[in-house]
Amino acid sequence: MTAKFVTVDEEFLNILGPHPTLELLLENDRYPFAHEAGVYIPSTDELFITSNRLCDPGSPKEKQRVQISKVVLNRKDGSPPKCKQIELDSSAIPMGNGGVNYSNDEQVLFCAQGSTQLPSGLYAMDVRPPHAVTPILTDFMGRPFNSVNDVAIHSDGSIWFTDPPYGFEQGYRTRPRLPSQVYRYDPNRKSLRAMADGFGHPNGICFSPDERTVYITDTDWLHGGGGTDDTKASTIYAFDIAMYHGQPFLTNRRLFAMADTGIPDGIKCDTDGNVYSGCGDGVNVWSPGGILLGRIVVEGGVANFCFGRGGEMFILKEHRLWRAQLGGHVRGALLGI
């Protein structure tokens, strides 16, 4: 397994800083423990992650599951982290996927893709033991979600999330009853709205630092059954957030970037507005104007990642968890640390 930095545009050198590094933090050959979510909790110096789909020996296809884990970094006095993976009870969050810091970092808001028995939706897990789980949202006006995939939270407290049909295509969800859409939930008003449609498989979502733009990936290139189609979207779209009658709408949909290898899955911004996405060759980085700046190449590609402190990035690569150290001035827009 190799990983390296590739500069496409000289602006990437500023992001990398003078001494970029990559280190393998944790490895688990038993199963792909590091696939999605990637939520860093500053107060405890821990990561919450979700595995790829698992199927226990002898279990039918519809009995697939996802394992949620907590990774304790164990960093003291600037010494290298001695990571420990702790598997958590994941039964209350069916087929967990994306996640985000929630409730003043006291909880992680997970996307649950659902199962044939349990609904897809949004579930909050306490970051501290015993890691109690609270359902937040499990249907759209009585109609079941398809397979809620990724989530972002606006500073006004609203929750934005994507809902592709991967669960049905992968055999653990019933036939979709909703289009592939992006939603906004206002917890204060208990208001749930569909915000954008016209996607094949809406996937990753994040806001620009000023929250005037939302980025949404469409991973239609990859069908849930594993097939690919080079004529389908492998694309990041940008939308403006405009206010009409006191409420937000998504306007000016535009193609921001297309991944040249694989799909753009998880997506994040730094505080300078640069856009990072996990793609088929690693983490790709674009300028706010859509110019490809460079890549953190990880063999086999990356589904998701998250920023930590002072320019560090935790990269999820199935059986391996990597840590990249970029320039010390780089800050993830979500936490700003």
pLDDT tens across 260-286, in order?
999 999 999 999 999 999 999 999 999
Confidence at residue 78, expressed as pLDDT on a 0 to 100 scale: 66
Report d(CA 65, CA 93) in Å as an integer.
Answer: 10
- pLDDT-derived band of residue 3, with 50, 70 and 90 as boundaries? low
List, in sequence order, every beta strand (DSSP E) within 18-132.
21-27, 36-41, 46-50, 68-72, 84-87, 96-102, 107-112, 121-126
Q: Please tell me the distance from the alpha carbon of residue 198 to that of residue 167, in angstroms, as a whole number.
A: 19
Query: Where are the alpha helices (H) located in the chain, listed in sequence order?
Result: 11-16, 166-169
Check whether 158 has a pLDDT greater than 50: yes
**Tokens encoding 169:** 């295509």
Q: What is the CA radius of gyration of the chain?
A: 18
Adjacent-strand bridge partners of 216: 205, 237
Rounded Cα–Cα distance for residues 115 and 93 (Å): 10
Q: What is the dihedral of CA 315, 32, 124, 204, to 10 degrees?
A: 50
pLDDT tens digits for 195-224? 999 999 999 999 999 999 999 999 999 999
* CA gap 2, 307 in Å, rounded: 21
Q: What is the pLDDT of residue 238?
A: 98
Long-range contacts made by residues 100-106, C-beta under 8 angstroms, separation at least 24? 100/39, 100/151, 100/152, 100/153, 100/334, 101/39, 101/40, 101/41, 101/153, 101/334, 101/335, 102/153, 105/41, 105/42, 105/43
Tell me what percent of the residues of the chain surpass a pLDDT of 70: 97
Q: Are 108 and 102 in contact (CB under 8 A)?
A: yes
Decide: 251 and 242 in contact? Cβ < 8 Å. yes
The DSSP-derived string for 81-95 is: P--EEEE---TTSTT
Interval 92-138: pLDDT, tens:
999 999 999 999 999 999 999 999 999 999 999 999 999 999 999 99
pLDDT at 2 over 70: no
Task: Please name each of the domains of the chain with its CATH number.
Answer: 3-325 (2.120.10.30)
Q: What is the pLDDT of residue 190?
A: 96
Residue 59's pLDDT band, with cuts at 50, 70 and 90, is confident
For residue range 74-100, what is the model confidence (pLDDT) as tens digits?
887 766 678 999 999 999 999 999 999
Q: What is the pLDDT of residue 136?
A: 98
Give dist(CA 26, CA 73) in Å, integer: 10
pLDDT mean over 144-148: 98
Q: Is the model's pLDDT at 1 over the cut of 50?
A: no
Average pLDDT on 237-266 reads 98
Q: Residue 63 has what pLDDT?
A: 83
pTM: 0.96
pLDDT in tens, 17-28: 999 999 999 999
Proportion of the chain above pLDDT 90, given as a percent: 93
Q: pLDDT confidence of 57, banded at 50, 70, 90?
A: confident
